[in-house]
Amino acid sequence: MKFFADTAEIADIKELAATGLLDGVTTNPSLIMKSGRDFMEVTREICGIVDGPVSAEVVALDHAGMMREAEVLRKIADNVCIKVPLTIDGLQTCKALTSDGTMVNVTLCFSANQALLAAKAGATFVSPFVGRHDDNGFDGMELISDIRLIYDNYDFETEILVASVRHGLHVLQAAKIGADVMTAPPAVIKGLVKHVLTDKGIEGFMADWAKTGQSI
């Protein structure tokens, strides 16, 4: 499963990229706002740090406006992935862009039917929001299972990009289901390495090593 960082914070992206674990980055208007930086500037910088897809979201709601904005965004770098909402206009834009060879991430997916439409429109990625789905009384991971089944039934090439990931259990469940990608805040990704027994093991090894009086 590919790991994308859901952030626009450059320091966090650089830290994760240095581990070799980072396959891409997703951004959205809210994350750009939190960064306090210019949208085009920060997107260009992120594209220079990671080799994989960097999702940059349009803000227009009509097809013509989305296409105008996409034309600007895809000139930033070759690894820009245009992010569009799962609406009729968004799907029309997705079809037009992917037909022209541009990567597209169809976002704000909350049903398997929506995911089916995104795949039929040729989306590179579809982003089901599992955390927000859970928040509204639904089972976010059941949604991922349904999408995986449908995509496998018809050999759709669209990759399932699990979004709104809140914790390590979401990551584990997505991997068990067979999701293609998950995107999470840097803190969630870094938290995957943590385990109390790992910490205790290191503590014990270091205590024993100190007793030897040796150095490497």
Task: Based on the residue annotation, tell me whether 83 is a catalytic residue of this protein.
Answer: yes
Distance (Å, whole) CA 197 – CA 138: 33
CA pair distance 198, 193, nearest whole angstrom = 9
Nearest in space to 161 (alpha carbons), one of 174, 142, 149, 176: 174
- Give 165's DSSP letter: -
Catalytic one of 83, 190, 200, 211: 83
In angstroms, the CA 170 to CA 134 distance is 11
CA distance 178 to 207: 41
Residues designated as active site: 83
